Every structure is written in structure tokens, then in C-alpha cells.
């Protein structure tokens, strides 16, 4: 065998060994530059409420800046499509949530598949939804008063949503079905713009995530009638649950979570899971989460993936039963 062939074979073997080590090597050096966190809603919404404190905490832990990139539109599906096509090198992550478990049942031509195009990293927060009103638009003080008023004014009350097919939208449709009232949905490009409209009186009420409504409730800009959870929120102990207010079997949470584009090296994903777990258990994050009505979840990796699968099935039934269509 001649020397040229031997050198070629040696180079090939070295290349193969180097390639085989690449994922581990990448994880060992990761991160060596800034990380982009794609948030598929405009600034000021519920996703943003949790994304920015988490990004700040992770930046400190990782020694690299985690940059929040808001890419809103179409109920969060535009940003999800962008994230799905991002290079899977560990420098782009996606922070979506319950909206992305609803989307598969509503959109026939999504540009991504949340179950195939992403790797589940972790459930980040799970605040309940809250029924909130603009008191200058609705002369009511309790949930039962609201229901009675709505029955006397069918089709005259509107509720703001973070977009057609968002959990805000379906929560309203589900509530209307269970109480026999007629509400009109008004979609916005995210919870931030929707809340501005609610505070400004462009819409009457909303079924919002407690995370994005909490600050406005404390400021007195909007009034909570009930939280859609099994127990009262420790952050707002005076606000009854929907069941306590007279509507049983109505529980809705607006959860938020982290994914990586499919193909992201497993060692990098595992390292991010560890860093997120560490971040969520810091005193600062616990304080912020509690203030926004959420506890600290413990659901990562495959267990979180199984949760997403179950949520897709749950919301598919709500979509079917409510007859909501985006056609």
C-alpha cells in the first residue's frame, strides 16, 4: 500500500473520530456565544412575563446573553414556524405553551409539527386562567352576576383573545358552552395588545392567563371575577375559583414551556434541562413566578413531551365540541 493511500485512510479515520465526538465536544464548550430565545407573541404578554426573567437568570448562569426575540402572529404559529427551521446547534430555543397544543386541531397547514420538529426541554410555568373584566364596561362584581348579565344581553358582550384559536379564545368558547351564554370573541396579536384593549375599554372582558393579568389586577386596571383552577391562587386569595363561583368542572391553565429545534445535540439539551431546573429553583424566579400566579413545575424531557401529547388530545376535544373553526 503506497504512502498516499495510507495518509488518505488515516485522514478519513481521523475525520470520522472527530465527527463522532462533535456532539459531546459541542456540549462541553456550550455555550460559547449568545443564545436566542424565540417568543412567538409580542412583548407584554403572558409568555413574555415568564420569558424575560428566565432569560436574565439563564444569562447569569451560563455566562452568555440569552436574547428574547419576539416573533408574534397567527396565535403563536408564526414564531413556532421560524423556530422549527432554526439551526439545531443549541443556540436557538423556543418558548411556546398551551397555544401550541391547540394549534394542531385548528390549523390545517401549519409550517411545523410541534411533536416532530422540536425536542421537549421543560415545562416552565403553569398559571391558571382568570376571568377578568373592565368594570366601566360591565356593571357586575361576581361571576354569577356576569353570567346573569350576559344571559340578558346575548351577543352584546365581547371578550378579547390573544388570537383566533389561542387558549384565551377556546377558554371563552368553553365557558360560554358550559354556562349557556353568547359571547363575541375579538382576536388580537397576543395577550399584550389584548390587555391594552381591555384596559382601554375596546373589549369588555377576557379569559387571560394569570401571569399576564396579575400586574394589571394589582393596579386596579381590571377586575378578576374567578380563577379557573382547582384551588384559589395564593397570589390572589380573595378571588374565588370558577367552581366556587358557581360553574363546576371548568379548569384551564395557560402553561409555558421550552423546546429546542429537532436535531439539537442531546448533550446540549440535557445541559439546558439542568440549567433551567437550577434557574426555576432560585429564590428570585420562585418569587417572580409566585407573583404571577404560578408554582414551579417539575416536568422535563420525555415526561414533558408526554404532557404535550396529552394536552394536544385534550384541546382537540374542546375544539371539536365547541365547533371553533379558522376556515
3-class secondary-structure state, position 218: helix
> In what side-by-side order are the strands of the sheet with 157-161?
183-187, 157-161, 205-209, 129-133, 223-227
Q: Which of 21-25, 73-77, 173-177, 226-230 has the lowest mean pLDDT?
A: 21-25
Q: Which of 87, 288, 72 shows the shortest CA–CA distance to 194?
A: 72
Q: Sorting pLDDT into bands at 50, 70 and 90, what band is 166?
A: confident
10 Å CB burial of residue 42 (0-12, 13-18, 19+) is buried
10 Å CB burial of residue 312 (0-12, 13-18, 19+) is middle
Taking 70 as the threshold, does the pLDDT of residue 19 lie above it? no
User: What is the per-residue pLDDT across 64-100, written as a single tens digit (0 to 9) for each?
Assistant: 999 999 998 888 899 999 999 999 999 999 999 998 9
Taking residues 320-324, report their average pLDDT.
Answer: 83
Phi first, then psi: give them for residue 184, nearest 5 degrees: -110, 125
User: What is the per-residue pLDDT across 224-260, written as a single tens digit (0 to 9) for each?
Assistant: 999 999 999 988 999 999 999 999 999 888 899 999 9
Taking residues 171-187, report their average pLDDT.
Answer: 94
Taking residues 156-179, report their average pLDDT.
Answer: 91
pTM of the shown model: 0.82
Taking 50 as the threshold, does the pLDDT of residue 18 lie above it? no
Q: Sorting pLDDT into bands at 50, 70 and 90, what band is 39?
A: very high
> In what side-by-side order are the strands of the sheet with 118-125?
66-70, 35-39, 92-97, 256-261, 118-125
What is the CB-side half-sphere exposure of residue 92 using CA atoms within 13 A?
19
User: What is the per-residue pLDDT across 203-221, written as a single tens digit (0 to 9) for each?
Assistant: 999 999 898 899 999 999 9
3-class secondary-structure state, position 231: coil
Q: Sorting pLDDT into bands at 50, 70 and 90, what band is 263?
A: very high
**Could you give all domains of the chain from N- to C-terminal order, each with its CATH number?**
35-126+255-322 (3.40.190.150), 129-245 (3.40.190.10)
Q: Supply the DSSP symbol for 235.
A: T
Phi first, then psi: give them for residue 258, nearest 5 degrees: -120, 135
Taking 70 as the threshold, does the pLDDT of residue 21 lie above it? no
pLDDT score of 4 = 52
Q: Supply the DSSP symbol for 65.
A: -
- Return the number of other C-beta atoms located less than 10 Å from residue 252's C-beta: 23
Amino acid at each position: 500500500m503506497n504512502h498516499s493511500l495510507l495518509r488518505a485512510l488515516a485522514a478519513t479515520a481521523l475525520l470520522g473520530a472527530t465527527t463522532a465526538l462533535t456532539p459531546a465536544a459541542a456540549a462541553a464548550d456550550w455555550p460559547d456565544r449568545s443564545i436566542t430565545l424565540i417568543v412567538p407573541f409580542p412583548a407584554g404578554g403572558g409568555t413574555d412575563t415568564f420569558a424575560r426573567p428566565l432569560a436574565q437568570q439563564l444569562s447569569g448562569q451560563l455566562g452568555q446573553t440569552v436574547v428574547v426575540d419576539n416573533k408574534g402572529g397567527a396565535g403563536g404559529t408564526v414564531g413556532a414556524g421560524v423556530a422549527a427551521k432554526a439551526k439545531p446547534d443549541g443556540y436557538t430555543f423556543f418558548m411556546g405553551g398551551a397555544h401550541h397544543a391547540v394549534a394542531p386541531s385548528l390549523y390545517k397547514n401549519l409550517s411545523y409539527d410541534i411533536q416532530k420538529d422540536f425536542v421537549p426541554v421543560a415545562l416552565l410555568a403553569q398559571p391558571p386562567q382568570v376571568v377578568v373584566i373592565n368594570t366601566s364596561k360591565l356593571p357586575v362584581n361576581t361571576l354569577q352576576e356576569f353570567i346573569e348579565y350576559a344571559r340578558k344581553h346575548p351577543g352584546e358582550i365581547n371578550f378579547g383573545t390573544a388570537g383566533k384559536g389561542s387558549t384565551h379564545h377556546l377558554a371563552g368558547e368553553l365557558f360560554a358552552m358550559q354556562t349557556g351564554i353568547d359571547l363575541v370573541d375579538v382576536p388580537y396579536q397576543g395577550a399584550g395588545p389584548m390587555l391594552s384593549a381591555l384596559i382601554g375599554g375596546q373589549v369588555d372582558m377576557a379569559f387571560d392567563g394569570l401571569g399576564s393579568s396579575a400586574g394589571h389586577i394589582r393596579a386596579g386596571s381590571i377586575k378578576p371575577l374567578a380563577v379557573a383552577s382547582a384551588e384559589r391562587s395564593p397570589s390572589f386569595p380573595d378571588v374565588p375559583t370558577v367552581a366556587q363561583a358557581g360553574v363546576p368542572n371548568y379548569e384551564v391553565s395557560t402553561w409555558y414551556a421550552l423546546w429546542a429545534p429537532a436535531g439539537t445535540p442531546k448533550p446540549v439539551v440535557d445541559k439546558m434541562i439542568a440549567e433551567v431546573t437550577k434557574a426555576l429553583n432560585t429564590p428570585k424566579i420562585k418569587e417572580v413566578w409566585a407573583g404571577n400566579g404560578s408554582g414551579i413545575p417539575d416536568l422535563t424531557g420525555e415526561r414533558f413531551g408526554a404532557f404535550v401529547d396529552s394536552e394536544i388530545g385534550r384541546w382537540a376535544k374542546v375544539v371539536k365540541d365547541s365547533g371553533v373553526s379558522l376556515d
